[in-house]
Amino acid sequence: MLQEEHEVYIPYSSQSPYLSSASVDFLDDAPGTQTTGEHIAFQPPHYPSEPRVSSTPPHKRPGRAGAILLLTLALALIFGVGLFSGWEFAGSSKSSTSTTAQATTTAPATTSSATTLETQQEAAIARIEPSVVELKVTTVQGQQVGSGVIIDTKGDIVTNNHVVSGEQTIEVVLSNGSTEQAQLIGTVAADDLAVVRIQPFAHMTVAQIGDSSRLVVGQDVLAVGNPLGITETATKGIVSALNRSVTESTGTTVSNAIQTDAAVNPGNSGGALVNLQGQLIGIPTVTAVNTESNTAANGVSFAIPSNLVETALHQILQQ
């Protein structure tokens, strides 16, 4: 159809300055009609009614490219949210797993540490006990009990001087329960040390002497002896202090003494203070006294350091 079919012609206003007496032609599908005169009446041809075209341009529907772009953005948003959520969950799970694993690892580590310490203590006691003996000393005042440690294959036993002081007879009770008679070999009264000797016997165990200069405060130690006559008793503690100067009731002053909180009672004197390797690092000799109650103070005992013991042994055995 030609364009003219869609045009609507509207009469010019009678006041239009462009009108004149000249003829005006109107074009449409009907034969032209010519009319003259100032007043022109024109009746446009009748056409079937059609929708009027709006002057506002119609909205364009989004094209295929736009739809694809929107879909892509939506998918990217969904994927991004999912990825972030997954990352957060993974991080949380990893942290939880790490914490659980750490807790699981810590518990066995603590248990293992405790087990290791117990194993060391058991091994140290087993190593030193066969060399620790009980001394039953008869004096003019009666009988006194103490401890001693076998220190060589000759049957020499180191103990405190105050344990054997004034002795008439010395009886040694070995770790296996058998009894031996001993004789006094010598003393260093200034250090409260003495040596007695028994006849060597089969499978005799000799203590290994350690280096007391390497001790540190807080180090684990064990005391083995015969407190109150109860044989082969072991107690544990730590090195509470070093280089103490201690004066005994006899007036003897022990220099460089080891202070320990391992339980030490009458009968422990002359016994063994050992490290976790079972090495002899001191000879328990005295317990502090609470002057208010005149009783032994708990956890405050002193031992002669092993380096001083070695010096005294050299003096006695070289005589």
- Which residue out of 192, 240, 301, 306 is catalytically annotated? 192
Tell me which of 147, 212, 269, 301 is the catalytic residue: 269
Instruction: Return the ∠ at Cα 202 (arms to 198 and 206), rounded to 5°.
Output: 65
Question: 162 catalytic, yes or no?
Answer: yes
Do 257 and 302 touch, CB atoms closer than 8 A? yes
CB 130 within 8 A of CB 252: no
Q: Is 192 a catalytic residue?
A: yes
Q: Which of 162, 191, 240, 306 is catalytic?
A: 162
Respond yes or no: is residue 95 known to be catalytic: no
Active-site residues: which are they? 162, 192, 269
